[in-house]
């Protein structure tokens, strides 16, 4: 999975906001707020194809977090992006 073309991540007031740009603004009104770990995952998904396992491995290498918590948070993040139509599966 990866982030669809036409969406960008912008820093806003200590958080990050994913928004549609260009022609995608006609198809999506999604506005997703996330913290720095969400932005970390977003950047990975923007760079290319990833699986939940590859995201988990990257998260565990970058942050001091348990595998259980990281896996739960990644699943919730992916669901949020998917529900908003921001992911290519």
Quick: pLDDT tens for 51-89.
999 999 999 999 999 999 999 999 999 999 999 889 997
Q: What is the pTM of this model?
A: 0.90
**CA distances (Å), origin 84, targets 11, 30, 69:** 19, 6, 23
Q: Using pLDDT thresholds of 50, 70 and 90, give the confidence band for residue 1.
A: very high
pLDDT at position 73 is: 96
Domain count, the chain: 1
Beta-bridged to residue 7, according to DSSP, are: 20
How many contiguous H segments (helices) and E segments (strands) does the chain have?
3, 5
Range of the domain at 74: 2-88
Longest dimension (CA), the chain: 40
> Is residue 14 over pLDDT 80?
yes
pLDDT at position 16 is: 96
């Amino acid at each position: 999975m990866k982030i669809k073309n036409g969406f960008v991540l912008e820093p806003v007031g200590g958080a990050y906001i994913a928004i549609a740009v260009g022609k995608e603004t006609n198809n999506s009104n999604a506005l997703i707020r996330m913290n720095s770990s969400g932005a970390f995952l977003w950047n990975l998904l923007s760079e290319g194809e990833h699986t939940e396992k590859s995201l988990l491995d990257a998260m565990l290498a970058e942050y001091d977090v348990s595998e259980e918590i990281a896996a739960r948070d990644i699943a919730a993040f992916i669901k949020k992006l998917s529900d908003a139509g921001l992911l290519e599966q």
